Structure 1
Amino acid sequence: MNGRSWKALMVGSVLLNVFLLGAIAGGAWRWLAAHGTAQPPQAQRLALRFATDELPPERQQQFLDTLRTARRQGREYAREGHDDRREVLDLLAAPQLDRPALDAALARTREADSALRAQVESAVANYAATLTPEERVKFAEGLERSGQWRLPLRQRKTAPQASDAQ
């Protein structure tokens, strides 16, 4: 190989390495942007299961077991709701809109969703009945932050300020 061939080979190698390093850096940046940034703790803990965070660990486990049982018992309602939503989408995508069939599928979806929600809410009420009054207050505050009873920040009760107590 002559000097010119080596020079072209080296330039090609440098360009390839720069391209690969850029691709790796860009991929790492994208991954960190999607997975690496920590969200505020509030944004991560919106599910109903986090409503008992202020309660003792055994009470938290009891609530998780209660939710798990309620959801397991409501699987059929969830499956019906899922199937009905699939039917709604199929009806909407059909060339000819069949409004009565669409309305019926929407009604079935609402009924299944309502039945599942009623089952979970009943389980939550049964769990709350086992708590002491102090634990129920903490649980209610947890429900304000997490789950379907979550309130917007501006509507939540705030603890009295130290200056208000004087």
Structure 2
Amino acid sequence: MNEGMPKRIKVVLAISVLLNVFLLGAIGGGGYRWYAAERTAAVQPRGLRFAADGLDAGQRRQFLQGLRAARRAVAPEVDAAREGRHQVEQLLRQPQFEREALVAALARTREADAAVRSRIEQSVVDFAATLSPAERQQLADALVQRGPLRTAPAQPRTAAP
């Protein structure tokens, strides 16, 4: 009877070890899949240039060419906006606060940014005018998922104290 006991314990221990290895592998694999899915979701390409990914290659090429042309057309405004932001930074760093100069630099920056946005948006409008209703639906979906029409999930409002 004593001779059978160690054999029985060995079998139970072997089954326990196999079960624990299986469980650890399942937990590790599930954790890895969760981590990989989170990273993949976070890395999804976003931006206006990805809005035409659902369209056929010719239309996608046309869309990207329109965006490139629009960006080239507004290159001076992009530079002006960048310079305006640099001026705002410098004005904020000065020991003496110059309110009028800061307001003027912000206005110039805002005007340049608005001109850039307006031209880029006009390029999207011009492209959308060439699409069928179904293709415009695809473009709208892509703009919501990846482009400038994307919105953050609504956060519940709390009452102010």
Q: TM-score, normalised by structure 1?
A: 0.67
In the TM superposition, 1:147-162 aligns within 5 A as 147-152=147-152
Tell me the SS of whatever aligns to 1:44: coil
Give per-residue Cα distances to partners, 1:103-132, cap 9 Å, x unaligned: 000010000000000000001000000001
Runs of 4+ in 1 over 4 A off after TM superposition: none
Give the CA RMSD over aligned residues: 1.9
Q: 1:84 is matched with which residue?
A: 84
CA distance in 2, matches of 1:45, 1:74: 24
- What residue ranges of structure 2 are gaps of 5+ in the alignment? 1-35, 155-161
- Within 2, Cα distance between the matches of 1:134 and 1:56? 12
Say if 1:56 and 1:47 are closer, same or farther in 2 by CA, change over 3 A.
Answer: same
User: Structure 2 matches for 1:46-85, cutoff 5 A?
Assistant: 46-85=46-85
CA distance in 2, matches of 1:151, 1:95: 39
Aligned to 1:108: 108
Rg: which structure is higher?
2
Equivalence for 1:157: none
Where in structure 1 are there 5+ consecutive unaligned residues?
1-36, 155-166
State the identity %: 42
- Secondary structure (helix, strand or coil) at the match of 2:51 reads helix
Quote the residue 1:144 is aligned against: 144
Aligned length: 119
Counterpart AA for 2:123:
A
- Counterpart CA distance in 1 for 2:63 and 2:113 is 21
Q: Does residue 1:133 correspond to 2:133, yes or no? A: yes
What secondary structure does 1:40 align onto?
helix
Query: Which residue type is aligned with residue 148 of structure 1?
Result: P
